[in-house]
Amino acid sequence: MKNPKSILITGASSGLGAALARDYATHGITLFLSGRNPDRLTAIGKDCQSRGATVHTGLVDVKDKTAMSDWIIKCDGITALDLVVANAGIGIGFTTEMDLEAHTQQVFDINVTGVFNTIHPAIRLMQPRAHGQIAIISSLAGYHGLPGSPAYSTSKACVKAYGEALRGLYASHGVEINVVCPGYVKSPMTAVNDYPMPFLMATDKAIKALRRGLEKNQARVTFPWQLSLIYGALVRLLPEWLFDRMFRLMPAKK
Ligand SMILES: NC(=O)c1ccc[n+]([C@@H]2O[C@H](COP(=O)([O-])OP(=O)(O)OC[C@H]3O[C@@H](n4cnc5c(N)ncnc54)[C@H](OP(=O)(O)O)[C@@H]3O)[C@@H](O)[C@H]2O)c1
């Protein structure tokens, strides 16, 4: 969608969400920003206000279905939402010393259920007026299950597939749905990684690519292009036995 005026972003208290909020913040724009950390969220909100935007912040945990629904309905009542970005997520790796079940539950509660809790109320509001756009932040890590981050990569594969399916379903109802698959982007999430991150992208460049893709209503918005190309080719062309060998050697995500 070109020129959305009323934008809701989850996970706006840090990293990509905060950078996207700042980038959209200007006169005539209303931003609804959520996160859990009050100090960081307030600081980002003030910064966006100083750029001319009208800002409403909400301390809402994406895991809380009722709180999310209430908050999204409240925001939409203030200014009908044009764009909702389901961005909040955690990216923690796994080693076999950890509790696989607890780890996977923790990641899925935020990265999958949290996305559902964001997009379902938004679709309910947008469908009757046949207007709106929903961006789901997945990852290139969602192209194939990764041994170093089994829950994370699978959670991102899940929301990617869900977004692709919903896009086809709601296109005729005037709701645009986009799946965003970043590679490595500079943010607090990647700052803890102590292994090489190929084609690590500056945050502002990533935000430009993201906005460009959403403006064009691209089904899948991927960046950086080099890593997208490599991941896409690997997944399509590599036999599974070779994939197994290569990705077993990858360091575990922090
Ligand atoms: N950076 C990358 O290279 C990269 C690559 C691919 C995909 N992604 C995806 O991009 C998104 C943003 O990542 P980032 O790099 O910006 O990470 P980040 O700096 O760690 O930010 C994560 C954001 O999610 C919020 N969040 C986490 N759990 C939440 C919860 N339960 N309820 C509400 N908000 C919650 C955090 O809010 P609080 O801190 O206030 O809790 C924070 O604002 C994630 O979905 C991530 O998987 C990032």
- Domain extents in the chain: 6-248
pLDDT of 251 above 80: no
Given a contact cutoff of 8 angstroms between Cβ atoms, the answer to whether 204 and 18 are in contact is no
**Quick one: three-class SS letters along 6-72?**
EEEECCCCCHHHHHHHHHHCCCCCEEEEEECCHHHHHHHHHHHHHCCCEEEEEECCCCCHHHHHHHH
pTM: predicted TM-score of the whole model, two decimal places: 0.96
Nearest to 220 by CA among 132, 159, 151, 154: 159
Residue nearest to atom 20 of ligand 1 (CA): 189
For ligand 1, the distance from its centroid to the CA atom of residue 187, given in whole angstroms, is 9
The radius of gyration of the chain from alpha carbons, rounded to an integer in Å, stands at 18
Per-residue pLDDT tens for 51-62?
Answer: 999 999 999 999
**pLDDT at 252 (0 to 100):** 67
Q: Is the CB of 57 under 6 A from ligand 1?
A: no
- For the annotated catalytic residues, the residue numbers are 152
C-alpha span between 44 and 152 (Å, rounded): 26
C-alpha span between 49 and 25 (Å, rounded): 7
Paired tokens of 23: 């980038």
Q: Is the CB of 85 under 6 A from ligand 1?
A: no
Burial track 65-79 (b if 16+ CB lie within 10 A, e otherwise): eebbbebbeebbeeb
Per-residue pLDDT tens for 73-119?
Answer: 999 999 999 999 999 999 988 888 999 999 999 999 999 999 999 99
Q: Report helix, strand or coil for 73.
A: helix
- The fold of 6-248 is Rossmann fold (3.40.50)
Given a contact cutoff of 8 angstroms between Cβ atoms, the answer to whether 45 and 66 are in contact is no
Residue nearest to atom 42 of ligand 1 (CA): 11
**pLDDT at 247 (0 to 100):** 76
- What's the whole-number mean pLDDT along residues 146-167? 96
Q: Is the CB of 112 under 6 A from ligand 1?
A: no
Per-residue pLDDT tens for 122-142?
Answer: 999 999 999 999 999 999 999
C-alpha span between 38 and 26 (Å, rounded): 22
Output DSSP code: residue 159.
Answer: H
Q: Which of 9, 10, 16, 40 to mutate to test the pocket of ligand 1 (most atoms within 8 A of CB)?
A: 16
Given a contact cutoff of 8 angstroms between Cβ atoms, the answer to whether 152 and 112 are in contact is no
Residues 6+ apart with CB under 8 A from 16: 87, 137, 182, 185, 187, 203, 206, 207, 210
For ligand 1, the distance from its centroid to the CA atom of residue 89, given in whole angstroms, is 4
Residue nearest to atom 45 of ligand 1 (CA): 89
